[in-house]
């Protein structure tokens, strides 16, 4: 029987090893946390104008595209930070550990930039055809969800068949349902980012099919039974 103190130490060492193997993911999380703490100190009016200035809307993309594409991925548009800790640990960290930091970064850049321009193209089209007011070019658009959807997409190639197809279908249904029901530009962006994640298969070639959920569950069950 493993002593409680030894079990805690072993668990802590496993967590630290997990974090060390995904340095980009957890550095990003720290930046998001620090920036959120800073932004929360200011008034709602200041926060709104700050977010607007760092948004990847049509106006900002036409004036300072590189700056806002970078800065928009470093801030959270409201809400709590801790859900992102869970989501990043569940999706970004496994992708980074599996592909390596360089390829992981390539995936999130492709998803973030590609989905941003595709979604804002919808806004531009709607403005040009009169189905959206000109003020739509100034709608705030900030956050990390496009990159997250891209990471979720490419993660499908880590999972062995047939679970890979079940996982991918679940993602398509989740993001597709939002797209069909709401049809906002952000829904377009999320679905596009997911597809871009799927399209990053060349970055995952040679590293596919490494994780079998059933094997992991059996291993976890044996560890629990052995104490």
Dist. CA 81–CA 94, nearest whole Å? 19
Dist. CA 155–CA 18, nearest whole Å? 17
What percentage of the chain has pLDDT greater than the value 90? Answer: 66
Note the pLDDT of residue 7: 66
Structure tokens at 182: 């709401």
Dist. CA 102–CA 34, nearest whole Å? 24
Burial annotation 43-70 (CB, 10 A radius, 16+ → b, else e): eeeebeebbbebbbbbbbbeeeeeebbe
Residue-number span of the structural domain to which 122 is assigned: 4-226
DSSP symbols for 142-176: -SSHHHHHHHHHHGGGGBPTTHHHHHHHHHHHHHH
Tell me the pLDDT tens digit for each residue of 162-201: 899 999 999 999 999 999 998 899 999 999 999 999 999 9
Note the pLDDT of residue 79: 82
What percentage of the chain has pLDDT greater than the value 70? Answer: 89
What mean pLDDT do residues 93-122 have?
96
CB of 209 within 8 A of CB of 165? no
Q: How many domains does the chain have?
A: 1
Indicate whether this model's pTM tops 0.85: yes
Report the chain's mean pLDDT, rounded to a whole number.
Answer: 89
What mean pLDDT do residues 133-158 have?
93
* CATH code of residue 121: 1.20.1540.10
């Amino acid at each position: 029987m493993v002593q409680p103190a030894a079990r805690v130490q072993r668990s802590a060492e496993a967590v630290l090893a997990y974090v060390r193997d995904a340095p980009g993911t957890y550095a990003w999380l720290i930046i998001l946390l620090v920036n959120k703490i800073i932004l929360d100190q200011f008034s709602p009016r200041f926060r709104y104008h700050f977010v607007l200035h760092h948004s990847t809307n049509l106006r900002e993309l036409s004036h300072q595209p590189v700056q806002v594409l970078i800065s928009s991925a470093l801030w959270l548009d409201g809400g709590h930070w801790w859900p992102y800790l869970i989501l990043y640990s569940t999706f970004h960290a496994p992708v980074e550990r599996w592909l390596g930091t360089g390829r992981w970064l390539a995936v999130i850049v492709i998803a973030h930039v590609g989905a941003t321009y595709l979604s804002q193209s919808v806004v531009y089209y709607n403005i040009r055809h009169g189905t959206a007011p000109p003020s739509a070019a100034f709608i705030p658009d900030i956050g990390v969800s496009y990159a997250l959807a891209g990471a979720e997409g490419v993660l499908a190639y880590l999972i062995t068949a047939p679970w890979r197809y079940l996982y991918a279908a679940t993602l398509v249904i989740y993001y597709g349902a939002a797209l069909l029901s709401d049809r906002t530009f952000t829904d377009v962006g999320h679905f596009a980012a997911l597809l871009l994640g799927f399209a990053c298969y060349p970055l995952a070639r040679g590293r596919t099919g490494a994780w079998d959920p059933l094997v992991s569950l059996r291993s976890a069950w044996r560890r629990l039974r052995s104490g």
